[in-house]
Amino acid sequence: MFRFRSARAALSLCVALTLSACATTKGPIELDPDGIVIAEPVPIAPPAPPIPAPPPAPSEPPPEPIVEAPIVETPDAFSSLSGWAEADLEPALAAFERSCESMLQADPDAPLNANLPHYGSYGDWAEACEAVPHATNARPFFESLFTPVVLSTEESDEGLLTGYYEPEVDVQIEPDAIFSEPILAVPKSKKVQRLPRAKLGPKSSRVIAYGRPIDVFFLQIQGSGRLRYADGRVLRAAYAGNNGRPYRSIGRVLIQRGDLSRDQSAKRNIEAWMADVGPEKTRDLMNENPRYIFFSEQAIAPGEGPRGGMQVPLTAMGSIAVDSRSHPYGTLAWLETRLPQAPRDYIGEQTGLLVVAQDTGSAITGALRGDLFFGAGADAGALAGVMKHPVRWTILVPKSLIPTPSLKPDSIS
């Protein structure tokens, strides 16, 4: 077995510090970068055309690499991956097939990312992409076409894995005392679109629906969701844009004002506070966060998740948000971590799962950092909210990209 190094990013210091505490976390379910309440998440990308847009042309500059400690990459065997033989690989196979619809449209000579040459070109992935529609069993498909490569740093072989989901909220067409908060489409006026939250309302743009203030606020934080109408219809509220204002945590505001303690700053505590103080003070608190997210409606195909940064529908437990400077869209990773089995299960069960990089977000930085998509609805949210565990990364790359074992480590760039 040989090792070689790349310029890919390692965990940042702040992630390493987070990791040191996350194994024993018993605090709020949903945390922001300050450890308060969930920060603005990975925004789900706006609606895509029926045929996914191809990846950027090779003439466009790839994402700038992040300058951190080097990642050590060690080719391995599938038999060495803990849990591989028992894992359900079908979600990853479905997700990979969706990625391939986009990847096969790209120039085969173009690199997935010029800063990450070990991921090769789109042509290097074409054989697997062309074979995936004919795969009848996921495990032999991946084992026949890919080689596992373990990722680590000089200091650690673990990163951090969190979770996100697509919320589902009750809405109605007309407002009343309970369903009073509008869900807005993008304003036609750029000037109006730039207004802070406090100055945006039903007259600012077309109203898609009305919901409970707390539900709409956290729908905006999550970036996408499902709208359930009283007549039984369910539509997707897809991320369509924002007002360009900075995000401010209302959990931190409540702590600074002394209305809640740090241990009380989870979503459920904020909801209870809002219920106690009434709609006027609730809206005042929400306006402390000037950031505002606009939506568009989308029909929901059976079993289809929202579109991620790759512009393909996300697959529950098969899609992951990554730092695209470290992992190109469409690539595969085997994750060994602990997954919650029930709400409030902060310990989780040791698990291995295969995922596809299809989304990204500003809070996801470094090659060993990821955000797992759990699916839609309250059950998925209850699990995603407690997902914060160390994770070991093994990427899968086409066999043609792995140097021969006879090469010495120092001869490989």
Q: pLDDT tens digits for 3-14?
A: 333 322 332 323
Locate tokens 């790359």: which residue? Answer: 397
Nearest-CA neighbor of 353 among 367, 370, 336? 336
SS3 44: coil
What the block records as the tokens of 145 is 């076409």
Distance of CA 242 to the CA centre of its chain: 18
Neighbouring CB atoms inside 10 A of 33's CB total 14
What the block records as the tokens of 173 is 């067409």
What the block records as the tokens of 27 is 């605090």
Confidence label for 159 from pLDDT (cuts 50, 70 and 90): very high
* Cβ-contact 72, 332 below 8 angstroms: no
Confidence label for 36 from pLDDT (cuts 50, 70 and 90): very low
* Cβ-contact 248, 285 below 8 angstroms: no
Please tell me what DSSP assigns to residue 314.
-
The confidence score (pLDDT) of residue 29 equals: 33
Q: In what order do the strands lie in the sheet with 168-172?
A: 181-184, 207-211, 168-172, 225-229, 234-242, 293-298
SS3 370: strand
289 class by beta-carbon count within 10 Å (0-12 exposed, 13-18 middle, 19+ buried): buried
* Cβ-contact 218, 247 below 8 angstroms: no
Rounded Cα distance, 212 and 37, in Å:
19
CATH class of the 167-298 domain in this structure: mainly beta
Rounded Cα distance, 88 and 355, in Å:
11
16-164+303-407: CATH topology: Barwin-like endoglucanases (2.40.40)
Locate tokens 């977000």: which residue? Answer: 361
* Cβ-contact 150, 71 below 8 angstroms: no
- 0.75 surpassed by pTM: no
For residue range 368-378, list pLDDT tens digits in order: 999 999 999 88
Locate tokens 């990979």: which residue? Answer: 96
What the block records as the tokens of 33 is 């970068």
| Pairwise pLDDT comparison (151 vs 49), residue with the higher score | 151
Mean pLDDT of 93-108: 96
Question: What letter represents residue 292's amino acid?
Answer: Y
For residue range 162-178, list pLDDT tens digits in order: 998 998 999 999 999 99
Mean pLDDT of 258-272: 81
Q: Break the chain into its structural domains and give their ranges.
A: 16-164+303-407, 167-298
Confidence label for 222 from pLDDT (cuts 50, 70 and 90): confident
Provide the mean pLDDT of the chain.
Answer: 82
The confidence score (pLDDT) of residue 64 equals: 54
What the block records as the tokens of 14 is 């702040």
* Cβ-contact 240, 221 below 8 angstroms: no
Nearest-CA neighbor of 56 among 96, 118, 115? 115
Neighbouring CB atoms inside 10 A of 406's CB total 7
Q: What percent of the chain has pLDDT over 70?
A: 80
Q: What is the CA radius of gyration of the chain?
A: 22
